[in-house]
Amino acid sequence: MAGKRGIMPIRARRGLLLGASALLTCLVLLGLFSVFRKGAPSLTVRPLPQGEDRDQCRLQAVMHAGEGTVAVTETLRMRNRSCGPLDHTVLRFYLNAFRDEAHSPAGILYDECYPLGFSPGRVTLMGIRWQGESAAGRWTDGDETALRVETKDWEAGEWGTLTVSFLLEIPECRWRCQRSGDLWVLGNALALPAVYDGERNAYRLDPYTPIGDPFVSDCMDWQLSLSLEEGWVPYGSCAFEKGPDGTWTGTLEAARDMALLFFRGERALEKSFGQVLVRLVNIRGDREKVADRAGEILKAYTALYGPPPRACLTVAAFPFPFDGMEYPGLVLLSDRLFESGQEDWELPLAHECAHLWFYDLVGSDQVNEPWQDEALCQWAVLEYVRARYGEDSRASLRYYLADAPLEEQVEGSVTPGSPIDRFSDCAQYDTVVYGRGTAYLCALDTYTDGKLNAVLKAYADRFAWQRASRADFERVLMETAGQDLSSFGDIYLDTLIGR
Ligand SMILES: [Zn+2]
């Protein structure tokens, strides 16, 4: 997030990316920018490998606008990917973390997130079936975000079918899942299979922490059918088509999550860049400019890291206390970024678009290694700025994003390699994970004579549609750079450098 990815609070952003935006504006006015590189590649979409045995989700959802609810049925075809038989599986229902006022993750910024007072987000289970028969389920964690379902004799490598029906109560809360007026956002609201940790022989049950993006999941194929009330249009991680009976259908292959938007308002602006369709939803101001800039950002990253994973990218504005949040095929930006009439949205857009490569395409452990997608995205922003505005602008931005955070005072003993639950506030998280994590990448690039982009391209190609560990990253780094650079990780990611 922009702060999702490492959720970055708006005030921290003001100190970093917004400050950096103003700096860029000055450089542009002084005529110091270079014209965006001519001959940038026309956009293609990265082909999916054939013959993969991904899990599948068929999802039906019905919106009840008056009640503020969505009724959902998911049928999941899942494979036992552990080494032995399993007597249960686990589904994550993150929305339940918002069910009571005392424990809501949004309580960390209560006044901003609940301007109308507390509004609960909740999941009510309606039915569970395993292999076609009624099955028992129970919450296994205090937050009631992890549902354990008995599976009996589910052998390793075997497929099973789990059907779960539930009602989502969408909160009036400016967080990832919310409704306000003509826009509903269902981020981390649909049920997802928990990831099985083969080393611990257990499902991961990471709690929904207020800081960072506490989500780890694997790619599935999605098939959706949505019934919305008159006047509402669905957007989200994929494109939808309306059938003669009024039902909206959409599909998305190899996606580690599915976020939905229900919107009632101005039609989306659509613009094609080669094979990639960019759609803008609920964005005020010069929408053409935002769409064109998104196209330029995608081209810059394609030149460096290879084609993006999606044929359709939706960019939408929503009320949010941080700069933005990424989902597969979807970039969400805070609507505050569009208030000034300046281009405050540009660098957050570049950051979230980079997550198409470093999160959507290559997943990582966002709970225990949050730097591994956030710092990579910050690095990509620097490279976009180099391509569009030139070396001087990049150097100035690097100071804001990577060098200054080494000088900032940070309370507590956290490093970029710390898990997200070790951080006590958003500003600390921002400085350490985004800032000092990016300083690590800058140091690697300097020491390898500019090979970091080649490393990141090899990393994207090697781990496309998978999850990569820190060791995986370091292995690609070593192979591509041709030298052992593990001491850089020890120093920058695990040592209390800076002040
Ligand atoms: Zn991010």
Integer Cα distance of 171 and 62 in angstroms? 17
In 3D space, the residue among 381, 411, 305, 390 whose CA is nearest the CA of residue 46 turns out to be 305
Kindly give the confidence (pLDDT) of every residue in the chain, 499 residues in length, as a single tens digit, with 9 standing for 90 and above: 774 333 343 333 333 454 455 555 544 444 344 444 445 568 999 999 887 899 999 999 999 999 999 999 999 999 999 999 999 999 999 999 999 999 999 999 999 999 999 999 999 999 999 999 999 999 998 889 999 999 988 999 999 999 999 999 999 999 999 999 999 999 999 999 999 999 999 999 999 999 999 999 999 999 999 999 999 999 999 999 999 999 999 999 999 999 999 999 999 999 999 999 999 999 998 999 999 999 999 999 999 999 999 999 999 999 999 999 999 999 999 999 999 999 999 999 999 999 999 999 999 999 999 999 999 999 999 999 999 999 999 999 999 999 999 999 898 899 999 999 999 999 999 999 999 999 999 999 999 999 999 999 999 999 999 999 999 999 999 999 999 999 999 999 998 776 5
- Tokens matching residue 100: 């009571």
Q: How far is the CA of 86 from the centre of ligand 1 (A)?
A: 35
117 burial (CB, 10 Å; 0-12 / 13-18 / 19+) is: exposed
Tell me the CA–centroid distance for residue 213 and ligand 1, in Å: 9
Cα(326) to ligand 1 centroid in Å equals 7
Q: Report the pLDDT value the prediction gives residue 20, as an integer from 0 to 100.
A: 57
10-44+272-494 CATH fold: Neutral Protease; domain 2 (1.10.390)
Pairing of strands 137-139, 146-154: antiparallel
Query: Which residues belong to CATH 2.60.40 in the chain?
Result: 55-217
> How many whole angstroms separate alpha carbon 300 and alpha carbon 465?
21
Predicted local confidence at residue 40, as pLDDT: 58
Tell me the CA–centroid distance for residue 400 and ligand 1, in Å: 16
CA–centroid distance, residue 458 to ligand 1 (Å): 21
Beta carbons of 93 and 123 less than 8 angstroms apart: yes
CA 2 to ligand 1 center in whole angstroms: 4
Grouping H, G, I as helix, E, B as strand and the rest as coil, residue 179 is strand
pLDDT for position 41:
65
* Cα 7 to ligand 1 centre (Å): 7
CATH architecture of 55-217: Sandwich (2.60)
pLDDT for res 246: 97
Q: How far is the CA of 244 from the centre of ligand 1 (A)?
A: 39
Q: Ligand 1 centre and the CA of 417: distance in Å?
A: 16
Q: Residue 154: its pLDDT value, please?
A: 96
Q: How far apart are CA 424 and CA 38, in angstroms?
A: 45
The type of residue at 47 is P
Cβ–Cβ under 8 Å, residues 366 and 216: yes
* Residue 212 confidence (pLDDT): 96
Question: How far apart are the CA of 348 and the centre of ligand 1, in A?
Answer: 9
Q: How far apart are the first and last CA of the chain?
A: 25
Kind of pairing between the strands at 159-169 and 86-92: unpaired
- Cα 117 to ligand 1 centre (Å): 28
> In whole angstroms, what is the distance from residue 237 CA to residue 331 CA?
9
Rounded CA separation 103/118 (Å): 11
Distance 351 CA to ligand 1 centre (A): 6
Among residues 249, 111, 241, 261, the alpha carbon closest in space to that of 181 is found at: 261
Task: Compute, in angstroms, the gap from residue 34 CA to the centroid of ligand 1.
Answer: 26
Tokens of 1: 């997030």
Of 372, 375, 366, 394, whose CA–CA distance to 435 is shortest?
Answer: 375
Distance 324 CA to ligand 1 centre (A): 8
Quote the ligand 1 centre to 149 CA distance (angstroms). 32
Helix (H, G, I), strand (E, B) or coil at 401: helix
Q: What is the 3-state secondary structure (H, E, C) of 155-174?
A: CCCCEEEEEEEEEEECCCCC
Per-residue confidence (pLDDT) for residue 143, from 0 to 100: 87
Q: How many Å lie between the centroid of ligand 1 and the Cα of residue 130?
A: 36
Question: Does residue 350 contact residue 384 with C-beta atoms inside 8 Å?
Answer: yes
Distance 249 CA to ligand 1 centre (A): 29
Distance 58 CA to ligand 1 centre (A): 28
In the reported structure, the alpha carbon of residue 325 is separated from the centroid of ligand 1 by a whole-number distance in angstroms of 7
Burial profile 380-409: b = 16 or more Cβ within 10 angstroms, e = fewer: bbbbbbbbbbbeebbebbbebbbebbbebe
In our burial notation (b when 16+ CB lie closer than 10 A, e otherwise), range 325-336 reads bbbbbbbbbbbb
Alpha carbon of 263 to ligand 1 centroid (Å) = 24
CA 347 to chain centre: 16
Residue 361: CB partners within 8 Å, gap ≥ 6? 46, 308, 309, 460, 464, 465
| Cβ contacts of 357 within 8 Å, gap of 6 or more | 301, 305, 306, 308, 309, 376, 380, 456, 460
Neighbours of 11 (CB within 10 A): 12
Distance 214 CA to ligand 1 centre (A): 12
Pairwise CA distance, residues 131 & 139, whole Å: 20
Q: Look up the pTM and report it.
A: 0.94
Angle, in degrees to the nearest 10, between helices 437-447 and 371-389: 60
Distance CA 257, CA 222 (A): 9
**Cα-to-centroid distance, 229 and ligand 1 (Å):** 33
Q: Where in the chain is the domain with CATH 1.10.390.10?
A: 10-44+272-494
Please give the full DSSP string across 276-343, using - where no structure is assigned. EEEEEES--S-HHHHHHHHHHHHHHHHHHH---S-SEEEEEEE--SBSEEEETTEEEEEGGGGSSSSS
Distance 161 CA to ligand 1 centre (A): 33
Instruction: Give the Å distance between the CA of 6 and the centre of ligand 1.
Output: 5
